[in-house]
Structure 1
Amino acid sequence: MALATAAAVAAVAQTDDAPSTRLNLPANPQFFTDDDPSVRKATAIVNGDVITRTDVDQRLALIVLANGGRIPAEELQRLRDQVLRNLVDETLQIQAAASKDIKVEQKEIDAFYEQYARNLNRSTKEFGDYLKANGASENSIKRQIHGELAWRRLQGRQIEPFVNIADEEVRAVMDRLTAAKGTREYRIGEIFLAATPETMAEARANADRILEQLRKGASFVAYARQFSEASTAAVGGDLGWVRAEQLPEPLAVAAQRMSIGQVSEPIPVQGGISIIAVQDTRQVLTADPRDAVLSLKQLSVSFPRGMTREQAAPKVAELGAIASTMGGCGAADAAAAKIGAEVVTSDQTRVRDLPPPLQEMLLNMSIGQATKPFGSFEDGVRVLVLCGRDDPETTSGPSFEAIQRQLEEERINLRARRYLRDLRRDAIVEYR
């Protein structure tokens, strides 16, 4: 499924009067029982379907794994509460699909699970053992796969057939792209927390806690999947490539001030709060040098454990000297053999896929030149030799069909968000 833009997410506005005004609520309510309805227990029954403590624990373990285990103990309870909310939504989505006779076959779920295992270079048994050893399970992942497939198919039946994009809308976008040639586009990730005026302070506090964890090294993609209330949560919050004018104004202003890899402060937007990450940038309808494809040779040397910087320095200097004088890639293997360096060849490396400091260095190099030595004494010190470069051609921009699909997906995602809101409203959920 294509990705929704932030504009579609933020378009779910609070158009009614404030609830406290409509309901004539007292300013200082007095409660008659000790139960706090805001406190959610570890299990729930959703329209008769049970979510167990084990379900919550195993899904929480997946988040911990995705973040390398680096989640403070004080953060775990808040994550547990969020996981339970996610499982409630997931259950509602599966139930809604089943009510429309939409089935997801077990063999389809198993196929996706096998692909996850292959992506980690594991067999399905090895992957299952790995999950079990870390407090998760293959059933937890398969349940998530089931929910995502069911929800997508429900949208395909109940929403997509009723979304139509006029040719004039597509042409208008193409005209704007042409007019915007040379302007900057951003690859944006977003975590969106919905809020009303009454719940904005709570949402802001949640956003601050999420940001704190992101700055400590937590995975943006993992947190977006579990916390974001936008339809892009399933793809880790990825909004795709957007121009500033396609974003809500507060997000546009922030994105234009941010560097690649930077994460924003929580930003109030219509309907809630967003945290965004600028993952990459490029220019509209303009060849980007970072789309060049490089042919590289890497020379690397490793060091025994415990070797000091002073002991390793002569070897690093030798690597730098031989790389700068060897005369290009043709002599790389012989030069590497002289100093005991390992050689690795890569003929299909895009500049934009490299770390930013190396991007800048390689773009300013001529064929045959080598970078300065880089790396660490633990992982090895290396140099890259530039063997060739295929520069990108100027693009004519996305096709009519591609733009039409994007507009359709934006509208579908907006309606899907409203659909889920209605499911929550009508659900019977008992917490235990």
Structure 2
Amino acid sequence: MTPMTDLFKRSTSLRPSHAARLGARRGLCLALSLLIGLGQVTPAMAQIDPDDVPMAAPRIPGARNLSTELKIEGKRVTSDFIVAVVNQEVITHTDVDKRVARIEESVPDRRRLPDPATLRQQVLDALIDEKAQVSFARGIGLSISDAEVDTAIENIAAQNQLTLAELRQRMVSDGLDFERYRGSLREQILLQRLREREVMPRIQVTEEEIDTFLREDPSAQAESNLNLAHILVRVPEGSGELAVRQLQQRAEQIRDRAAVGMNFTQLVRENSEDRDTLESGGAFGLRPASTLPPLFVNAVRGLKVGEVSQVVRSNAGFHIIKLVERENVAQARYTQQRARHILLRTTPKLGATELVAKMKGIRKGIIEGQASFAQMARQHSEDGSGARGGDLGWSSPGQYVPEFEKVLITLQPGEISQPVVSRFGVHLIQLIERREVQLSEAQRRDAARAVLKERGFEAAYEEWARELRQAAWVEIRDEP
């Protein structure tokens, strides 16, 4: 966890809040936008997959997101031993050690953590819950194919700006074992899919609850939802006046570069010290303004979408904030984006690494004016949109797979992304334009239903996890 997280007052408990599990709660209009266009997938838009789940933080009970961290599991140590067995699933001393270490690393202020014995017991309980769920998933025949794991690893390598060979080397230098890493990812994806399948159907929303939400809930009446991105220049505790001035000057220089149109995502990767948002180009995702730090909301007040704020100071350091997207919920409007892409599909002979290199060459040709994006799409793209110059038409938030959408929202009209890896292959994306769209009453009700189902996930998950834990055979073993 970075100093930035203090602004959001995130919980340090091992069972994360609903906000930690789902990302911040989405506003009414965003929830609707997740529903728009479902079932309308065509060959020309093959990268769209509304059933995909966003990729973010690691495996804690209830987490619906997939970790893109490289330090998930390390090598077994020779002195390792079993501390618990859940049905046929084993938990080792090393498993507990590594989870404890990861939590301690994420919370610099140890005073916010329970005492070591309590923390270790909570971690063990969390792992028991996970193993009970893994056992259940296997019992009902749910499994994750090698191809799905390979795609996840290729995407993680790309998000960490690494080739597969570089990722393997990084693991060796960090003392990680590649096969255990694959096993950890497979288990994460399995749990992710199981929880979506088993928990969401338990959540029922009545028409009366929707009426009450639309009439009374602040989330339905809020002025706006905001998607903000930021660059953090951290100010270490105890920094002297001179050091603070130098850091502020550095932040001002970064802000000046962003203000004249330099790629904000690239500036984030090169400068931001908030590791939680590095992979998303500094973006927090669309959230109700009331859930964002007032400092940030005030900084972008009066800005147009795409503009950056002046440098602002928080307890964490100096921030440069970009207004990526704004929704006016009271007027029931949301933002659509029109984009085009080039898709190169992976094959047994051509993996993502080779295709990323080829796509960089295509991008270079477009940037240098050798051909237009549309011409390159017609020549190279391997889906139905190629004949239309890669044009995907208008889309709503949540309509594309997360890897694709995460990059799309960071682009300015006309801007071309770096190669993006998804389960469908390697994409090159260009944003054409954005627009605001009015919602119908039926769409507002669908959106309200989605928001209420998300709010109900916490309680439904806890009940389901408790049932699996009670039904599982659990043996706790003493240390040798």
If you compute each CA radius of gyration, which structure gives the higher value, 1 or 2?
1
Common fold: TM-score over 0.5: no
Q: TM-score, normalised by structure 2?
A: 0.38
